[in-house]
Structure 1
Amino acid sequence: MTEPLRVALAGIGTVGAGVIRLIDANRELIARRAGRAIEIVAVSARDRGKDRGVDIARFDWIDDSTALARHSRADVVVELVGGADGPALALARATLEAGKSFVTANKAMIAHHGLELAGAAEAAGTALKFEAAVAGGIPVIKGLREGAAANEIARVYGILNGTCNFILSKMEAEGRDFADVLGEAQRLGFAEADPTFDIDGVDAAHKLSILASLAFGTKPAFGDVATSGVRHVLAADIAEAAALGYRIRLLGIAESNAAGLFQRVHPHLVPLDHPLAHVSGSLNAVVAEGNFVGRLFFQGAGAGDGPTASAVVADLIDIARGEFGPPYAMPADSLLAQPGADTGDRRGRAYVRFTVADKVGVLAEIAAAMRDAGVSIESLMQRGAMADGSVLVAIVTHEGPERCVAQALEKLRGSPSLIGQPLWMHILDS
């Protein structure tokens, strides 16, 4: 009889408890699909006495999570601790050094240290799996690494953060402002007490850098992701976008071409005829464009105990089957070090919103700055005075180089007519 795959689990929070429940609930089905049983033999967490809704007394308790790498009965270690460095990274290094397979849902660690860990796994002849690190239960990493492996990918992009998508969808449906909806998201558990990583785009940037490496065969380059979030989007922007035939979504977009590797997380106006415009709530979605397969669209739950646990256990099933392979679809030492692309040369249309003082000459000042920078204005909208007496002015540009819009905004920097910083959002092509 084939021996079971024995698992040591670090971190028994929401996802860790979900992994235990999933293996318990689908034990026979998992064994049939994996070709052998998958059993948890040891666990580690900060608080041994915490009630997690699952029975952990049947497992060996290890106080020091790094010691799981040396557990005599464990074949594979699952890390659900989180954090780019610290205990998570120490455990990853120790596990691979011990010649054991490693599974993680830790996008920050993979974004920062994935290349190092992939090299270590390949040298040890063992597995490094991180399906759950991007888009929760959506099998987008497997889809890129295996399903689309024969294709040259031109672009990969999508909605990579459920918190931001929940907030924007709520603002859209109910006409509420950002701060109000963020508070609700925190009460419902869609947003952390400190939501900075989510709403400022860092979480999505971690995921995008992983997808870009898989899609293009390039070394992970998280530091090159141009990142901005959604905290400055107003209900008025949502309404303006709707009137123009768009919905606002926080998108991560990556492209690789002769100009270099382009990676950006930024709020976009998405046309209503694009499938991403209809991804609402806390869902995630990823689009990949292959030269033979065409457009691939992945959508599903991007977080939560069930979806994330599903991705973790799917990785364990692959390991049980002996399906290792290079973590980035090709050997780590063959990944290309591609320079970052100059975004100023990118062409597209833009939405730029200004909050201005209600006085004569403001529109002329904005229009002159756009003209002098070579920006062609398609439409200009001015809305009535707000409660504080300010006025919103929104411009949609014709297609042109991004450098020109940046130059126009620089010309307006420090103008006494402007209240706060303008909001610049790109318009996604269909």
Structure 2
Amino acid sequence: MKQFCLSLFSVGISAGQITMLLLLMMMPSSTDGIEITVKADQKIFNESNQIAVVVQGSTTVEELKERIKEETGISPTKQTLKKLINPDGTATVLQDSETMAGNKIEEGAIILVFVNFEITVKADRMITLLSWTITVEVNGWDKVEDLKKNIIGKLSEKFKRKHGIEPEKISLQYGPNDDYDVLKDEKTIDDYHIKKGAIVHLSIAEFEIIVKQYGKKNEAKTYNVWVKREEIVAILKKKIENKSGIYPHRQILNCKTTDDPEMEDIKTLKEYGIENGTILFLSLEFEVVVEYVPNEDWKKYKIMVKKRDTLATLKDKIREKYTEDYNEYGFGTIELVKKFKTDEREPFVSLDDVELWHEDFDEYKTMDQCGIREGSMVSVFYARRLDKEEYDQGYYIRPWPTPKMIYL
């Protein structure tokens, strides 16, 4: 280098010109490339998820996609490229017409390539009375919130207004065998292992259901309640209380009819298949008056029952609540008599004492089947078991020791 400089000086080139020439020689040629790393969200580069690529400052994003196609066979239209800015995953999307220099991509930069694939989004009667599906293109590094925006973008403005569909109001679920997980906005598609052809289910995060309560004259009261699929029944009962003033412990909720099993407080609405517009039936735990006459000393108590409780259950509740009196007076068998509003009285003796008796008052009949309603009165009296001779002669149990109890 020294000899080269002396040669230049000997031919009349000044020291300043020689310095400028040396600086130009030290600058990289415009044809020199820069090495970057292209990293994918899956192994698309011969069983690897990244490769090193040499590009020029003038190389466009579209040209880089073509280079990636040569390595992977993936069409440029299926690729989304982003420049990684921070290790936390912050990245900016690169537009096809932009150059490496224009995006300030330097030696050692990391370019993320996202391979787009199609998934199906299914509404499953959650929003309208008809099931509907749409196809959406995503990639593994898309966030769930981006997927929601993508879905919204495919729906007409009229449809969105009619059904109140907005990104913050919809819920997405995904999982095998109908065991769905609710997708969280900040998570990525890859976090949930969603692959090409997967079906993601769409529902309204908060939707309206109808709760019907039938009164004594079969008149229905209707409550419209906003709920979420992940809420438990206990929360729903609290919302019903806010609408109706009925305490949760008195509420009995059934899914399809009042004869369906009672909904359990600890289960979610999702477990019962509750959807937008579902109708639930509300009945109440109610109060009956229980009276009995131990040693001719009248006593009256109030016991809460449900319309589906049996007479046997009512017996158990009497025993449980009045253990002290039960022990003191030594009930052998508790007998029940439905007390009518008219002067007519119809005695009832349980199957504990007579194997065959009035069928309408079978102790396995429910409160509803026996006509026991809010405020009904039932009587408890002593009874003794018939011996075989009495039974064979057609006798029936008479309450004792108080004859007047025969007519209660």
Please indicate, yes or no, whether the TM-score normalized by the shorter chain is above 0.5: no
**TM-score band w.r.t. shorter chain:** under 0.3
Q: Give the TM-score taking structure 2 as reference length.
A: 0.26
Higher relative contact order (CA 8 A, sep 6+): 1
Work out which of the two has the higher radius of gyration on C-alpha atoms and give 1 or 2.
2
